[in-house]
């Protein structure tokens, strides 16, 4: 989901560019092409663990591409090397409903309920057509899914969750994310489904960027 697509009120389909890591130009250079398949950041961004290579998924629950990215991403995560860490960062391209969904994510994380409900939130939005657009609707949803309503509301409205949402917004800005899903690699690079052409190819490029980060240190 791109910022410009949000402004236009619609989502464009991703181009089908195949699962390989590029055409003759990319192969001649030994991998994906900078500026086409991935972006190198002008300023390195902080990572949560300097001893490991960090991958960050930038996403929005309301993004249909993010919903379809979940299955290949989960399969990819099962093979993640021991020296690679992974985390998610919900984006906020505007105040409503993005910040509300950021707070949903971080409140569940604070309560230890994120793994149990992450997929259910995507299903609610994209299968059951429930946009979870307001706090009250979200409170009802999490309560129906076994989360203590009062504890969730307290976490949702907490300074800690608000701070996490601001940090995610700052990280998105640092990576210059303008669409989702996107993958940031070690504070140095990012790629995305729209750049790569398919979700699987984005993950293959991320693997290549992890290798580059490992070489560079």
Q: Is the peptide bond before 181 cis (omega within 30 degrees of 0)?
A: yes
| Whole-number pLDDT of residue 27 | 40
The pTM score is: 0.87
CA–CA distance, 72 with 200 (Å, rounded to integer): 7
**CA pair distance 200, 217, nearest whole angstrom:** 26
- The CATH superfamily of 60-181+197-217 is Glutaredoxin (3.40.30.10)
pLDDT for 22: 46
Q: What is the pLDDT of residue 1?
A: 63
Q: Which residues of the chain have pLDDT under 50?
A: 4-20, 22-29
pLDDT of residue 4: 41
Check residue 216 and give its pLDDT: 77
Closest CA to 212 of 195, 189, 193, 192: 189
Element (DSSP H or E) covering residue 155:
helix 149-156
pLDDT attached to residue 18: 35
pLDDT of residue 72: 98
């Amino acid at each position: 989901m791109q910022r410009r697509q949000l402004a236009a009120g619609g989502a464009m389909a991703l181009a089908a560019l195949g699962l390989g890591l590029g055409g003759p130009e990319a192969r001649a250079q030994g991998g994906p092409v900078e500026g086409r398949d991935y972006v190198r950041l002008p300023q390195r961004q902080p990572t949560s663990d300097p001893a490991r290579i960090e991958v960050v998924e930038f996403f929005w629950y309301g993004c249909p591409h993010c919903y379809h990215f979940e299955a290949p991403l989960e399969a990819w995560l099962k093979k993640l090397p021991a020296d690679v860490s992974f985390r998610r960062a919900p984006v906020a391209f505007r105040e409503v409903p993005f910040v509300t969904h950021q707070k949903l994510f971080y409140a569940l994380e604070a309560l230890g309920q994120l793994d149990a409900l992450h997929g259910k939130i995507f299903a609610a939005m994209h299968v059951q057509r429930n946009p979870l657009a307001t706090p009250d609707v979200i409170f009802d949803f999490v309560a129906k899914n076994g989360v203590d309503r009062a504890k969730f509301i307290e976490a949702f409205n907490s300074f800690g969750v608000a701070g996490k949402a601001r940090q995610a917004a700052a990280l998105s800005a640092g990576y210059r994310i303008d669409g989702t899903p996107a993958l940031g690699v070690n504070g140095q690079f990012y790629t995305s489904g729209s750049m790569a052409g398919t979700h699987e190819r984005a993950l293959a490029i991320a693997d290549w960027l992890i290798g580059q980060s490992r070489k560079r240190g």
